[in-house]
Amino acid sequence: MDFFKKALDARIALVVIALFDIFLFLIVGAWTVGGGETMMTGLAAKAIIGDQINNIPFWKIVFPPDFGYWKIYISVGMLFGAFLGAKLSGEFFWRFPGSLSEWVMITIGGLLMGIGIRLAFVCNVSTFFGLTPEMNLGGYLSLTGIIAGAWFGSMIYKKILGF
């Protein structure tokens, strides 16, 4: 099957994704990832520290851990879909960051992404595929932030890689 033999044009893929996102918007709400990841964090924390999680107000007031939170399953689905695509196209193989500096950058980057998502209540997906197309004021504020952040991050990236 050609679909699994050569790369799909990103423009076609994104237009199809947008059409599915409109369906999701009509059924439950636009595509988002950060909310599901936060709920996973809460569930993982609860599994590790047990009822002590109730002593942290954030998990009591903002995100009480709940397996029935539908946004979790978008991420689980993305993992499954990507695994399926990679396996069927022969592109699945274990790969590791090549240098210590790469591990450090990924660690810092991951931490910043987690803190940023929770501070903003939104992630990049909500910004580009939810809030801004809904013409939500938060979309424009988030766009300003993410473009400035990506520019600043790119300058750091450029300096570290030395080009």
Interface with other proteins in residues 58-97 (CB under 8 A): 58-59, 61-63, 68, 70-86, 89, 91-97
Asked if 29 touches other proteins (CB under 8 A), the answer is yes
Q: How far is the CB of 50 from other proteins (least distance, A)?
A: 15
Tokens of residue 46, six digits: 């609860």
Supply 72's token pair: 């979790």
CB-CB neighbours of 123 under 10 Å: 24
CA–CA dist 130, 139 (Å, integer): 8
Candidates 129, 20, 11; CA nearest to 81 is 20
Examine residue 112 and tell whether it contacts other proteins (CB under 8 A).
yes
- Interface with other proteins, residue 122, by CB under 8 A: yes
Q: Does 154 help bind other proteins (rule: CB under 8 A)?
A: yes
Can residue 20 be called a binding residue for other proteins (CB under 8 A)?
A: yes
